[in-house]
Amino acid sequence: QVQLVETGGGLVQAGGSLRLSCEASGRTFSSDAMGWFRQAPGKEREFVAGISWTGSTSAYADSVKGRFTISRDNAKNTVCLQMNSLKPEDTAVYYCAASTRTLYPSRHSYVYDYWGQGAQVTVSS
């Protein structure tokens, strides 16, 4: 059974940091692009960050550029999202995703085949 499991969410004050991890199991994801998306209450799911299959190429939403960093470890089948200088508007459920259709990060959710269950991130002001 293919699974993506996110950990590391929680409550943090504005200006603080959190690190999300996503561990994949059931198949190897070393040839997949990986991404992080988020969904805030009453809003659509949006792209946050993506990374290519080798980790050499990454992409970020303008709203998180310079504050968030995506990374991956193919040997451990994991992808991480380091979030610094967090703002209340970063509050959302964060989802890890994997795409078998592309080697490079995509901002489009329909490109991704596998999704985690989500991790809540709450940033207080």
The residues pairing with 33 across neighbouring beta strands, listed in sequence order, are 99
Q: Given the structure tokens 């193919």, which residue do they identify? A: 74
pLDDT digits (tens, 9 = 90+) for 73-95: 999 999 999 999 999 999 999 99
Report the C-alpha gap between 31 and 16 in whole angstroms. Answer: 33
List Cβ neighbours of 24 (8 Å cut-off, separation of 6 or more).
2, 3, 4, 77, 78, 79, 98, 114
pLDDT at 80: 98
H runs (alpha helix) in 2-125: none
List of the chain residues with pLDDT < 70: none
How far from 92 is each of 23, 42, 103, CA to CA, in Å?
20, 10, 27
Report the C-alpha gap between 47 and 65 in whole angstroms. Answer: 12
pLDDT at 2: 87
pLDDT at 16: 98
Neighbours of 90 (CB within 10 A): 22
pLDDT at 27: 86
Report the C-alpha gap between 49 and 65 in whole angstroms. Answer: 9
pLDDT at 45: 97
The residues pairing with 39 across neighbouring beta strands, listed in sequence order, are 93
